[in-house]
Amino acid sequence: MEFDDLRAFVTVVEAGSLSGAARELYVTQSAVTRRLQRLETSIGAPLLDRSTRPVSLTGPGQVVLERCRRLLNDFREVRAAAANGHLPMDEVKIGVAHALTEITLTEPVEEVRQKFPKVALRLFTGWSHDLLERVRSGSVDAAVFLLAEGERLPAEVAGQQMGEERLLVVSARGGGVPRPRRIQDLGGANWILNPEGCAARAALRRTLLRANINMIVAVETYNYDLQLSLIARNRGLGLVPERILLRSRLKSLLRPLHIPGLHFPLTIWVAQRQPCTGLDAVIAELSRVLMQRL
């Protein structure tokens, strides 16, 4: 059983396809297939159902996956411990929530690279709860994400709160449309929002449903600049972070709506899996420079 075979299996599961894993590992798709076949032969059972899209785990594959992740993590920690106090030398996978990608990460990443030149940082984006689960399972080393106010981290994850995220309901300024002042005034309104999977969007839907209002999504896009542009043209209402609105070139055309009952406090966290021997210093430095940026 080879280390590369274990890594190929875990990467295929996380990428959802052989081609995606090949891109992640910088090898050909046939090389990924050979590694999987070698691992399945060694274990004596098929681990993946390749007929589905994305590929899915077989029964034995579900059992083997977590053990493979633990073996990969243990191997990395042995390497880190063998460094005997020298600078860390490894690859660090960092997840960043979609909603936080508007924060410029170039400077924080460069600061970390200067301090730890032998560490390769790899950045991933995703929804906050998906990233938290990836930290818990060990498929990423750390993540920067959002949680609802009062929400707790799992026991297997260590983290620190770095700040707060205030979300605002936003409309076009003027336009001859009556300004909504109550939740009930939002019946029939069009919304311009992040795609499904966004925790803030889900919270908005729940709040509207409690008022017997069906949320009508006119446009969904990850891009806040595009959202604000459409809102400014009176194409619908939006739910955006206050920091995004304040620095938008369109802010003079937009108006935050202060509606009782529409309150979605979020907190910004950096979290890492436990244990993370040898990489704690790298993640602590990234946390420090991100906090300065925030």
How much is the pLDDT for 293?
A: 67
Q: Give the CATH number of domain 87-160+266-294; options: 3.40.190.10, 2.60.120.960, 3.30.360.10, 2.60.40.3080.
A: 3.40.190.10
How much is the pLDDT for 82?
A: 55
Per-residue model confidence as pLDDT tens digits over 151-177: 888 877 888 888 888 899 999 987 666
Q: Which residues contact 278 (CB under 8 A, 6 or more apart)?
A: 76, 77, 79, 80, 81, 83, 88, 90
1-82 is classed CATH 1.10.10.10 = yes
Domain boundaries, the chain: 1-82, 87-160+266-294, 167-264
Q: Kindly give the confidence (pLDDT) of every residue in the chain, 294 residues in length, as a single tens digit, with 9 standing for 90 and above.
A: 677 888 888 888 888 888 888 887 888 889 889 999 988 898 888 888 888 777 888 988 888 888 888 787 766 666 655 554 444 456 778 888 887 776 656 677 778 878 887 777 777 788 888 888 888 877 788 888 888 877 888 877 888 888 888 899 999 987 666 788 899 999 999 999 998 888 888 889 989 999 999 999 999 998 889 999 999 999 999 999 888 899 899 999 999 999 998 888 888 888 887 665 556 777 778 777 777 766
How much is the pLDDT for 156?
A: 77
The answer to whether 87-160+266-294 and 167-264 have equal CATH topology is yes
Identify the CATH class of 167-264: alpha beta
